[in-house]
Amino acid sequence: MTHDAKGGVDCQEVTLQHVREIRRYNDWIFSCLQPHLGGRILELGCGIGTYSARLRPFAGQLTCVDMDAGFVNQVGAMFRGDPGVVVSMGTVGEGLDFAPGSFDVAVCLNVLEHIEDDAAALQQLRTWLVPGGTLLLQVPAHPSLYGTIDEALGHCRRYTRSQLAGILVRNGFEPEAPPRHLYLLAVPGWWWFGRVKRRRIVPGTTVRVANAMVVFRVGSSGRCHCGWG
């Protein structure tokens, strides 16, 4: 977990709670994922289970992974008694030991930016996927927007379009389409609160406004499918 040095606030958990609340945004993101789901699905960075519950009906076997013990316990309780779900603690390169070809689909939403060696993480994910498997990936865009919120959340970086495409190709993935912005309307908020106001958490009211504005979204999600931004 990530804590605000000024107030002891768990920035990551507050952010995950915000994400759970923005149902319209979640419905839209999941609509981008759904056509590519099926078989054995790995969810890397399951958090508090916001997308885990949505993924379950489309998975023959769902494996949820997070590096936070509290989140692992919470998601484990959600699926207690479901033999089709495994919940494990760890992250790529640390605490996980899946056999090659264990998964048909890997879902990696806002996780890669937390991993210091993102190239090694992608290499490992490629090994865990069957040949021709699918990686569904979302990362934050625009390095110039990197600010105090990114720091509080433990982001190592933001990506440019060319950086993301390049690192995927270099590590064995073949993007079906170039990375695309998911939600350009969020850019002003990241700039204002993370760069200008130097906040460590996006205010809840702003999150709810952003959720309402999903109807005006610009762009769409990008075998690998890449969401960028």
**What CATH number is associated with residue 222?**
3.40.50.150
Average pLDDT over residues 143-157: 93
Q: Give 100-126 pLDDT, tens digit per residue.
A: 999 999 999 999 999 999 999 999 999
Q: Give 25-61 pLDDT, tens digit per residue.
A: 889 899 999 999 999 999 999 999 999 999 999 999 9
β-sheet bridge partners, residue 141: 159
Residue 5 lies in a domain: no
Average pLDDT over residues 3-14: 52
pLDDT for 120: 96
Residue 1 lies in a domain: no
Residue 27 lies in a domain: yes
pLDDT for 217: 57
Q: Which two tokens stand for residue 72?
A: 């692992």
Q: Are 64 and 94 in contact (CB under 8 A)?
A: no
Residue 63 lies in a domain: yes
Which stretch, 33-37, 213-217, 222-226, has highest mean pLDDT? 33-37
Residue 111 lies in a domain: yes
Cβ of 160: how many Cβ atoms within 10 Å? 15
Residue 2 lies in a domain: no
Residue 3 lies in a domain: no
Residue 181 lies in a domain: yes
What phi, psi does 42 have (nearest 5°)? -105, 125
Q: Which two tokens stand for residue 68?
A: 């936070």
Q: Which of 25, 35, 27 is nearest to 222 (CA)?
A: 35
- With a cut of 60, say whether residue 182 has pLDDT above it: yes
Count of structural domains, the chain: 1
Range of the domain at 92: 11-228
Contact partners, residue 69, CB within 8 Å, separation at least 6: 89
